[in-house]
C-alpha cells in the first residue's frame, strides 16, 4: 500500500484560482519525482508536504555568544541549526595553544571541551532540533560531545537528527583543515559510519562536500564530478572495512554550492542525483532505494559575494537560493549580505533567513514538485553536465580513485586551472560582476560590521585553566592513553573517544594523542 503523504495545505492554487498540479506527465520527463534515478527529486511530494530545512550557518566568539544567536535564529523561524567552529577547533588545537593565537572565535565558535559544548546548546532540546556541524578533522569529537549532551538530556539517541560534514577528502583537495594522513582520516570516518549505524541510526554521518570545491574555483561540472568521486571513495572504503552498503549508505548526505547561473545550477543538482543513483545501484549493488537517493544541503555561494555595493549581494543570494529550491535541496543556508566583509550581524542574518521564508511562502515555487521538469533547456543542460562529469569520474577511476588522484594532485590542478581562467575572464570583462568590474561607483560605503573582541582568547584560556583544575586528571590521562593504544589497532575508536570527551578531555588533548600515533599530513 502506498504511503500517504500529509500535504502542507489542502489545495495548492494561485491568487487567480488556478490549481497548481503536483506535476504534469504529458510533457514532463519520466520517471516521476521520487522514482529512480531521482532526477526530478528524491521525494514524490517534495515541498508540498514539507519545506526544506531552513538553516543559518552561525557560530562566533564564545559558546555563550553563539548560544544567544541560535536562540535568536530559532525565534526568527529557522528550522535547523548549523554550527560554525573556529579554526583551532577545526584542526585540533585548544585555545591556549600557541598555534591558536589570533584565531580563537574568529571564523566560528571556540569549542575546547564538553563544557563549552554544554554552554553552546544550553536551553536547546537536542531531540527537538536538527543540527548540522561543519567540522571535519575533529568531527568525531564534536559529534560525541553532542551525543554526551543528548545523553544528559535523556534524549532518545535513535531519533537524534543532524549532520556532521566529516569529509576529509575535500580538505586535501580544496580547503586544508586536515590533521592526519589520508589513510588514518579514512579509518576515523569509517569508524564513525560503524558506530553511528549502531547508535545514531537517524544521524547523517557525512556531508560529502562540493561546496568548498566550488569556492576554490571549480566549475559546476568539476564540483559534481569531484564530489561524487569522493563519495565513491567513502563507500568503497566502508565496504572494504566490512560494512554492508545498505547499512550505511542511506545516511550519506551531500553539500553543494549554489551559484549565480540559475539554469546551470538547477541542472547541476538534477544531474548529481541521477549520477549518484546509478553509481549506487550499478557499481555498489545497493538494494535499498534510500541508499541510492542523493540528499543534499545547499549554501549560496560565498565566493560570489562582493565587498562593493553589498546590497547587491541580497539579489545574488535570492537567485542562488531559488536555484537550490527549484533544484530540490533538502536543506539550505542563505549567506548574509555583509559576509564578504565580516561575520554577519543579526539584522543581515535575519534578512538572509527571510529570503528563504519568502521563497517558501510567497513565490509559489514550492507548490509543484518539479516546476522545471520538461524544460528543453534544463533537460539539455542536465544531460550535458552528466556527460562531462562522468568523463571526469572516469579519469579519476583510471588514476585509482579519489584518494590516489589527490596524491597526484589531479583535482587540485584542475580546479586551479579553471579558477585562473575564470579570474582572467573577470579581469578582461568577458564576465560581468555588477558593481565590481562594471557599473561601479566612487561613493564611500559605510557599513555597521560585526567585530570579534580579541579578549575571546583570554576568556577561553581562563575557562580552560578552571576546567583542568576541577576535572579528574587521572581519568583524563587514562582515557588519552587508551586512545593511543587503540589507534594502533583496528578497533573502533569512538567508544574510547566518547569516554575521553565525557571525562572533559579537551579537543587539543585528544587530537594530540592521535597525532602522537598517526602524525600529521604535510601537503606536497
Tens-level pLDDT at each residue, the chain (524 residues):
345 567 787 778 777 687 888 877 665 567 899 999 999 999 999 999 999 999 998 899 999 999 999 999 999 999 889 999 999 999 999 999 999 999 999 999 999 999 999 999 999 999 999 999 999 999 999 999 999 999 999 999 999 999 999 999 999 999 899 999 999 999 999 999 999 999 999 999 999 999 999 999 999 999 999 999 999 999 999 999 999 999 999 999 999 999 999 999 999 999 999 999 999 999 999 999 999 999 999 999 999 999 999 999 999 999 999 999 999 999 999 999 999 998 899 999 999 999 999 999 999 999 999 999 989 999 999 999 999 999 999 999 999 999 999 999 999 999 999 999 999 999 999 999 999 999 999 877 778 888 888 899 999 999 999 999 999 999 999 999 999 999 999 999 999 999 999 999 999 999 999 999 999 998 76
pLDDT of residue 2: 42
Q: What pLDDT, on a 0 to 100 scale, did the predictor assign at position 322?
A: 98
For residue 487, the enclosing domain spans 471-518
C-alpha 361/C-alpha 377 separation (Å) is 27
Structural domain ending residue among the three candidates 427, 462, 495: 427
| 359's grid cell | 521563497
Q: Is residue 494 located within the same domain as residue 352?
A: no
CB-based contact 335:313 (threshold 8 Å) = yes
Cβ proximity of 291 and 246 under 8 Å: yes
Query: Shortest CA distance to 489 belongs to which of 184, 192, 138?
Result: 184
Together in a domain, 235 and 114: yes
> d(Cα 520, Cα 517) in Å, to the nearest integer?
9
Looking at the fold, whether 363 and 491 belong to one and the same domain comes out as no
Cα gap 265→287, rounded to integer Å = 29
d(CA 101, CA 118): 24
Answer yes or no: do 417 and 480 share one domain: no
Q: What is the pLDDT of residue 29?
A: 63
The C-alpha R_g of the chain, in whole angstroms, comes to 23
Rounded CA separation 139/152 (Å) = 20
Total domains in the chain come to: 2
Q: Look at residue 456 and tell me if it is in a domain.
A: no
**Do 512 and 382 fall within a single domain?**
no
CA pair distance 493, 485, nearest whole angstrom = 10
The answer to the question of residue 332 being in a domain is: yes
pLDDT in tens, 292-306: 999 999 999 999 999
d(CA 522, CA 180): 9
Backbone CA torsion sign across 146, 148, 151, 156: positive
Residue where a domain terminates, one of 397, 427, 457: 427
Does residue 17 belong to any structural domain of this protein?
A: no
Q: What is the DSSP letter of 53?
A: E
Asked whether residue 4 is assigned to any structural domain, the reply reads no
| Domain end residue (candidates: 393, 427, 461) | 427
Across 178-292, where does the E strand assignment appear? Answer: 203-204, 206-209, 252-258
Q: For residue 489, what are the CA distances in angstroms to 170, 184, 483, 500?
A: 26, 11, 10, 18
Alpha-helical (H) ranges within 241-287 are: 245-248, 262-278
pLDDT at position 1, please? Answer: 34
Write the pLDDT tens digit of every residue in 73-107: 999 999 889 999 999 999 999 999 999 999 999 99
220: cis peptide before it, omega within 30°? no
Contact 142, 183 (CB under 8 A): no
Identify whether residues 101 and 158 lie together within a single domain: yes
Q: Is 58 part of a structural domain of the chain?
A: yes
Q: Based on the fold, state whether residues 383 and 510 are members of the same structural domain.
A: no
Is 481 found in the same domain as 409? Answer: no
Residues 6+ away with beta carbon under 8 Å from 300: 257, 258, 316, 317, 320, 321, 324, 333, 334, 335
424: Cβ–Cβ under 8 A, 6 or more apart, which residues?
none
What's the whole-model pTM score?
0.92
Measured in degrees and rounded to the nearest 5, phi and psi for residue 57 equal -60, 120
Query: Which H or E run contains 348?
Result: helix 346-362
Whole-angstrom distance, CA of residue 155 vs CA of residue 161: 11
Q: Are residues 416 and 503 in the same domain?
A: no
Q: What is the pLDDT of residue 477?
A: 98
Is the same domain home to 382 and 480? no
Phi/psi region, residue 221 (left: phi>0; alpha: psi -120 to 50; beta: rest), is: alpha
Assign 467 to helix, strand or coil.
helix
Confidence (pLDDT) at 449: 83
In a domain, 453, yes or no: no
Strands (E), 197-295: 203-204, 206-209, 252-258
Distances (CA, A) of 178 to 47, 304, 422, 458: 36, 25, 27, 26
Say what the pLDDT of residue 28 is. 56
Q: Is 204 helix (H, G, I), strand (E, B) or coil?
A: strand
The CATH number of residue 194's host domain is: 3.20.20.240
Tell whether 109 is covered by a domain: yes
User: Is 10 contained in some domain?
Assistant: no
Containing 133, the helix (H) or strand (E) segment is strand 131-134
Same domain, 355 and 213: yes
Clarify whether residues 409 and 292 are in a common domain.
yes
pLDDT of residue 501: 98
Amino acid at each position: 500500500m502506498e504511503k500517504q503523504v500529509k500535504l502542507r495545505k489542502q489545495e495548492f492554487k494561485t491568487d487567480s484560482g488556478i490549481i497548481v498540479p503536483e506535476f504534469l506527465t504529458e510533457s514532463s520527463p519520466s520517471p516521476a519525482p521520487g522514482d529512480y534515478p531521482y532526477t526530478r527529486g528524491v521525494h514524490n511530494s517534495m515541498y508540498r508536504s514539507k519545506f526544506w530545512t531552513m538553516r543559518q550557518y552561525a557560530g562566533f566568539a564564545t559558546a555563550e555568544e553563539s548560544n544567544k544567536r541560535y536562540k535568536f535564529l530559532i525565534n526568527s523561524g529557522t528550522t535547523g541549526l548549523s554550527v560554525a567552529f573556529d579554526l583551532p577547533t577545526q584542526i585540533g588545537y585548544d585555545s591556549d595553544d600557541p598555534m591558536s593565537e589570533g584565531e580563537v572565535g574568529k571564523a566560528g565558535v571556540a569549542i575546547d571541551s564538553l563544557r563549552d559544548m554544554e554552554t553552546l546548546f544550553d536551553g536547546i532540546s537536542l531531540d527537538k532540533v536538527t543540527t548540522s556541524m561543519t567540522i571535519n578533522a575533529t568531527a568525531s569529537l564534536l559529534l560525541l560531545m553532542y551525543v554526551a549532551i543528548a545523553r544528559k538530556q535523556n534524549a532518545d539517541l535513535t531519533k537524534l537528527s543532524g549532520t556532521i560534514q566529516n569529509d576529509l577528502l575535500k580538505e586535501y583537495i580544496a580547503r586544508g583543515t586536515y590533521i592526519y594522513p589520508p589513510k588514518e582520516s579514512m579509518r576515523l570516518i569509517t569508524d564513525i559510519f560503524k558506530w553511528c549505524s549502531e547508535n545514531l541510526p537517524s544521524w547523517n554521518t557525512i556531508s560529502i562536500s562540493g561546496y568548498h570545491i566550488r569556492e576554490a574555483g571549480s566549475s559546476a561540472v568539476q564540483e559534481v564530478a569531484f564530489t561524487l568521486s569522493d563519495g565513491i571513495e567513502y563507500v568503497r572504503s566502508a565496504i572494504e572495512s566490512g560494512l554492508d552498503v545498505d547499512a550505511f549508505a542511506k545516511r550519506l548526505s551531500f553539500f553543494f554550492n549554489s551559484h549565480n547561473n540559475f539554469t546551470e545550477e538547477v541542472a547541476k543538482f538534477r544531474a548529481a542525483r541521477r549520477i549518484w543513483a546509478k553509481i549506487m545501484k550499478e557499481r555498489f549493488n545497493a538494494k535499498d532505494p534510500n541508499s541510492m537517493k542523493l540528499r543534499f544541503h545547499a549554501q549560496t555561494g560565498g565566493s560570489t559575494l562582493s565587498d562593493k555595493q553589498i546590497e547587491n549581494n541580497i539579489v545574488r543570494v535570492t537567485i542562488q537560493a531559488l536555484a537550490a529550491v527549484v533544484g530540490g535541496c533538502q536543506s539550505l543556508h542563505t549567506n548574509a549580505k555583509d559576509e564578504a566583509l565580516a561575520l554577519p550581524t543579526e539584522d543581515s542574518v535575519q534578512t538572509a533567513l527571510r529570503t528563504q521564508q519568502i521563497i517558501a511562502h510567497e513565490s509559489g515555487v514550492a507548490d509543484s514538485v518539479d516546476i522545471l521538469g520538461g524544460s528543453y533547456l534544463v533537460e539539455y543542460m542536465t544531460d550535458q553536465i552528466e556527460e562531462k562529469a562522468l568523463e571526469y569520474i572516469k579519469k579519476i577511476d583510471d588514476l585509482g580513485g579519489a584518494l590516489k588522484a589527490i596524491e597526484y594532485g589531479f583535482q587540485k590542478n584542475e580546479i586551479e586551472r579553471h579558477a585562473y581562467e575564470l579570474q582572467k575572464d573577470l579581469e578582461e570583462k568577458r564576465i560581468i560582476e555588477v558593481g565590481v568590474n562594471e557599473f561601479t561607483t566612487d561613493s564611500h560605503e559605510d557599513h555597521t560590521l560585526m567585530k570579534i573582541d580579541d579578549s575571546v582568547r583570554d576568556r577561553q584560556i581562563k575557562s580552560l585553566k578552571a576546567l583542568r583544575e576541577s576535572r579528574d586528571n587521572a581519568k583524563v590521562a587514562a582515557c588519552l592513553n587508551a586512545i593511543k593504544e587503540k589507534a594502533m589497532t583496528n578497533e573502533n575508536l569512538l567508544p574510547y573517544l566518547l569516554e575521553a570527551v565525557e571525562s572533559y578531555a579537551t579537543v587539543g588533548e585528544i587530537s594530540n594523542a592521535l597525532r602522537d600515533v598517526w602524525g600529521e599530513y604535510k601537503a606536497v
